[in-house]
Amino acid sequence: MKSGELKTVARMRRKTATLRHWRSRRRLPSRSCYPLIAALLFACAPRPEAVDEAPKPNVILILADDLGHGDTGYTGVSDIATPNIDRLAAEGVQIARAYANGPVCTPTRAALLSGWYQQRTGADRVIYVREREVGMDPSIELLPKFLKEAGYATGVFGKWHLGFPKEGYPSRKGFDEFVGFVSGNIDYFAHTDRLENHDLWRGEEEIFSDRYFTDLIGDEAVDFIRRHAREPFFLYLPFNAPHDPFQGPEHRDTAGDQRVTRVVNRKRTVLKSMVESMDANIGRILDSLDAEGLAEETAVFFMSDNGGVPVVSTNTPFRGYKTTLWEGGIRSPFYARWTGRFPAGRKIEDTPAISMDLFATTLAIAGVSLPADRIPDGVNLLPLLDGSGGIDRDTLYFRYRNPRGVLQKAMTQGGWKYLSDEKGEEHLFHLAEDVGEEHDLKEAEPERFERMKKTWSDWETRVLAGAPALPEYRP
Ligand SMILES: [Ca+2]
């Protein structure tokens, strides 16, 4: 046997000896070495081995809940300190024009995990706490399933909000591990929903804890990273902060008191405490990546699921709030850090991204092809993020019917936006020069207005064709 072949055999034996040993050896080499490494693998090893040797970076998706675009230090405010979220931005890439798929919780989560416009999943409205029989179509396969099949350990800690039936629980959708709740929000100490049902689960088993929920997410995330440090992992962290009830970690005496936590404590100072607690737990997670030596091979993404809410949030510099399709209802901070691949401190100004892009992006990081049934609504952002190229997409669509029955419509194309707002009034804005949506150009640009309106309508016809639907909500 030639020395090269002996080395190959020795390498294969080493690989099977222990996963820990293999993982510790698979630090990402500099990208300039990739062609040489690829050529050596092709020449020396059978193809299946070459596939197995491909690095499988870890992915962490952090999703804040109702965090306003302006509510992180990096995007503008000075009264809330978010040094760890800011660190993600400073050490990674910021996409300045990032959108949540929906202006409320459930739709954005459906889009994020399916890679589709949420309308294709049927989950294009909020699932309310009284709707105990309602859930997203259980036949729809979600992101963790494809990663699990590719050898990833998968975990979700936090808020699910894709339905109540157990057939749709994270444990049935490809997540090995789940600790969290399935309704739209819980008391941070009592872990009860608005109807005072206890809502805290490990897998499908009800559990009880007295931990402040944001800290509980941090605990579980750090423990998951430690336990899976020597194998590829996918970690989805949908924090419920700073969604109401308004309770910071110092407000244990408000446990279970909805009058205080929904009304009295609806204050900027309480929101600040909630955001800063989330930031501190994100800091624990980043520290644990450093401690395990995983920062270079772990992509970390941060977004919010929709815009902030009136009174307490800052959607600066945008107009509108959660539940509307004004920019303030759907714009989100977007930070992506992967020190092994993305440049530090880069800001992408003009190219928009949207929650569902994280589906294709995560699969691309894992080296997994887009599933055959997946119409590519969301796109792989890697070329944009690592600076190697751009993305081929010019138009984004939004559609949301609120509980009062008004269908809101929006579409961005280039620097322009068509909007039919929460009152049913139509507008045309030149976002590129008017991010605050103050100057309606519908009368000045009638042809553009009609063209964009028709494009939106054609999209609606396409996206709803054959799609499942949730039962109609009756308040
Ligand atoms: Ca939300």
Integer Cα distance of 274 and 66 in angstroms? 12
pLDDT, tens digit (0-9, with 9 covering 90-100), for 262-298: 999 999 999 999 999 999 999 999 999 999 999 999 9
- CB-based neighbours (< 5 A) of ligand 1, an ion: 65-66, 105, 305-306
Summarised one tens digit per residue, pLDDT across range 191-222 is: 999 999 999 999 999 999 999 999 999 999 99
Residues 236-249 have a mean pLDDT of 98
Per-residue confidence (pLDDT) for residue 76, from 0 to 100: 73
Least confident of 173-177, 205-209, 467-471: 467-471
Q: State if pTM tops 0.75.
A: yes
User: Which residues are paired to 354 by β-bridges?
Assistant: 99
- For the chain, the domains span 3-53, 58-394, 396-464
pLDDT-based confidence at 258, cuts 50/70/90? very high
| 105 flagged as catalytic | yes
Average pLDDT, whole number, for the chain?
90
- Which is more confidently placed, 20 or 110? 110
- Sorting pLDDT into bands at 50, 70 and 90, what band is 318? very high
pLDDT of residue 118: 98
How many CB atoms neighbour CB 284 within 10 A? 16
Of 204 and 55, more confident: 204
Cα 253 to ligand 1 centroid, rounded to whole Å = 25
Bigger pLDDT: 227 vs 24: 227
Ligand 1 centroid – CA 133 distance (Å) = 21
Within 13 Å and on the Cβ side, how many CA atoms surround 444? Answer: 7
CB atoms within 10 A of CB 354: 29
Compute the average pLDDT of residues 382-411: 95
What class does CATH assign to 396-464?
Answer: alpha beta
Is the pLDDT at 7 greater than 80? The verdict is no
Confidence of residue 52 (pLDDT cuts 50, 70, 90): low
Q: How far is the CA of 183 from the centre of ligand 1 (A)?
A: 12
Residue 434 in this model has a pLDDT that exceeds 90: yes
Lowest mean pLDDT among 19-28, 229-238, 259-268, 302-311: 19-28
> What is the percent of the chain with per-residue pLDDT over 90, rounded to a whole number?
85
Tokens describing residue 351? 């190219």
Domain 58-394 and domain 396-464, same fold? Reply is no
Whether 11 has a pLDDT exceeding 50, the answer reads: no
Catalytic residue among 69, 161, 228, 251: 161
Please tell me the predicted confidence (pLDDT) of residue 474: 73
- Distance (angstroms) between ligand 1 centre and the Cα of 108 equals 8
pLDDT, position 83: 96
**How confident is the model at residue 73, as a pLDDT?**
85
**pLDDT above 70: percentage of residues in the chain:** 89
Q: Worst-scoring range by mean pLDDT, 12-16, 61-65, 70-74, 367-371?
A: 12-16
Distance 104 CA to ligand 1 centre (A): 5
From the candidates 69, 105, 243, 251, give the one annotated as an active-site residue.
105
User: Does pLDDT of 169 surpass 90?
Assistant: yes
The pLDDT value given to residue 53: 62
Check residue 22 and give its pLDDT: 37
What per-residue confidence (pLDDT) applies to 291? Answer: 98
CATH (residue range 58-394):
3.40.720.10
> If you measure from the C-alpha of residue 220 to the centroid of ligand 1, how many angstroms do you get, rounded to a whole number?
21
CA-based torsion, 286, 291, 294, 295: positive or negative = positive
Q: What is the pLDDT of residue 319?
A: 97
Cα(243) to ligand 1 centroid in Å equals 7
Q: Is 251 a catalytic residue?
A: no
Which of the two residues, 8 and 188, has the higher pLDDT score? 188
400 alpha carbon – ligand 1 mean position (Å): 14
Q: What is the pLDDT of residue 51?
A: 46
